[in-house]
Chains A and B, each alone.
Chain A
C-alpha cells in the first residue's frame, strides 16, 4: 500500500506570508505526528494527533503554528507570518498504535524555505 505522502515537497515563501503543509497518512493509521528537522539536527516533535484531536501540542514553538486533522485522516500544518527561522524540513509520521510503542512511518517531508 501507499506510504505517508506530503505535499508540497518544496515550498519557498517570503517572510510574513502564510503557508499550509499537507500530510496524507497511511490509511487506517489513527496516530499522526508532525516533526521539524533543521539542518544538522534530528527531527524535533511538534504535535501529535490521535484521531481528530490534538493529544499533545507541546512541541509547537509559538502561536503562529497550528495544525488540524478534521476527519482523522489528512492533516494540515499551518504557519502564519512566517519567519526565516521557520525554514526547515517538516516531517509527518503516522502509526497504527496509540500512545505508541510501535513504529512510526515517516513521509519524505516538505522543505520550507522562508526568504
Chain B
C-alpha cells in the first residue's frame, strides 16, 4: 500500500507564477515531513521540512503547508524559476521509523520561461 501519494505526475507553470505541489499520506504515525528535489542523474536534495506540530514552514521562495486532519501537505514555490524544473518528492517519517523516509512517487515540475 502506498502510504505517501503524489497524485499529479507532472505540473507545468509559467516563470514567475506560483507552483503548488500536493502530497497525501495515510499513516497517522507520521510526524515529520520533507520535500526533496531531484535533477536527472543526481541524488535527491533536501528542500524543506515540517514537523506535525506546525502547519506552515517557510524558507525563502518555498513554503510547506500541513493539514493534519486531511493528511495532506503541499509545497508552494513563489515565484517559480526555470531552475526549479525537477522532480519533487514528498517524504514522511515517524518516531517509530528509525528515520527511514517513506517517499511518494514524485511530481515532475516544468517551469517555462
Q: Which of B40-48, B66-74, B76-84 forms part of the interface with chain A?
A: B40-48
B103 with A42: CB separation less than 8 A? yes
How far does the Cβ of A8 sit from chain B's closest Cβ, in whole Å?
Answer: 14
From A12-20, A43-51, A62-70, A80-88, the one touching the partner chain is A43-51
Chain A residues lying within 8 Å of B6, measured Cβ to Cβ, are 42
Give me the interface of B with A, judged by CB distance under 8 Å: 4, 6, 32, 34, 36, 41-46, 49, 51, 89, 91, 93, 95, 98-106
Give Cα A35–Cα B43 distance, bound, in whole angstroms. Answer: 11
Minimum CB–CB distance from A29 to chain B (whole Å) comes to: 12
- The one of B36, B42, B44, B99 in contact with A101, judged by C-beta atoms closer than 8 angstroms, is B99
Contact (Cβ within 8 A) B46 A55? no
Output the nearest chain B residue to A40 by Cβ-Cβ distance: B105
**Across the interface, do A42 and B89 meet the contact criterion of CB distance under 8 Å?**
yes
Complex-state Cα separation, A47 to B105, whole angstroms: 19
Binding site for B on A (CB under 8 A): 4, 31, 33, 35, 40-45, 48, 50, 55-56, 59, 91, 93, 95, 97-101, 103-109
Q: Which residues of the other chain, A, contact B99 by a CB distance below 8 angstroms?
A: 31, 33, 48, 95, 97-101, 104
Residues in chain B near residue A97, CB distance under 8 A = 99
